[in-house]
Amino acid sequence: IAGITQAPTSQILAAGRRMTLRCTQDMRHNAMYWYRQDLGLGLRLIHYSNTAGTTGKGEVPDGYSVSRANTDDFPLTLASAVPSQTSVYFCASSDSVIGELFFGEGSRLTVL
């Protein structure tokens, strides 16, 4: 049972480059989320999707975009990376918007 798979696990990126973080779940959950985790700030929601075909903005959406073409995949794109986007990114899913969250192992992104 894979649960949530994120890729890449780690990436160093030059500022200005485009980057897509991949997230795939095999639990058929309706809701999916992208969070960033920065030291001392806990997790902050970037974007979410309550069901395939719909997305919404979270607390810190600027500089990021997402798509939800199907139930399983929820990629996060940085169109033009900036150093302040250096963070650990976590994808999560849940079968309802108020239920238990299942997390991937994270993608550590460094923007130089």
Partner 1 sequence: SQQGEEDPQALSIQEGENATMNCSYKTSINNLQWYRQNSGRGLVHLILIRSNEREKHSGRLRVTLDTSKKSSSLLITASRAADTASYFCVSTGGFKTIFGAGTRLFVKA
Under the binding rule (CB under 8 A), the answer on residue 43 touching partner 1 is: yes
User: How many chain residues interact with partner 1 (CB under 8 A)?
Assistant: 22
Please, which residue, 69 or 100, has the CB nearer to partner 1?
100
Cβ within 8 Å of residue 62, ≥6 positions away: none
Residue 107: CB atoms within 10 A of its CB come to 23
Please, which residue, 64 or 89, has the CB nearer to partner 1?
89
Q: Under a CB-based contact definition with an 8 Å cutoff, are residues 91 and 77 in contact? A: no
Beta-bridge mates of residue 22: 7
Please, which residue, 26 or 59, has the CB nearer to partner 1?
59
Applying CB under 8 A, which of residues 35, 71, 78, 93 lies at the interface with partner 1? 35
Q: Closest by alpha carbon to 48, among 90, 6, 79?
A: 90
Under the binding rule (CB under 8 A), the answer on residue 28 touching partner 1 is: no
For residues 21 and 109, what is the distance between their CA atoms, to the nearest angstrom? Answer: 9
Cis check: omega of the bond before 61, within 30 degrees of 0: no
Please, which residue, 59 or 80, has the CB nearer to partner 1?
59
Under the binding rule (CB under 8 A), the answer on residue 34 touching partner 1 is: no
Binding site for partner 1 (CB under 8 A): 4, 33, 35, 40-45, 50, 59, 90, 92, 97-98, 100-106
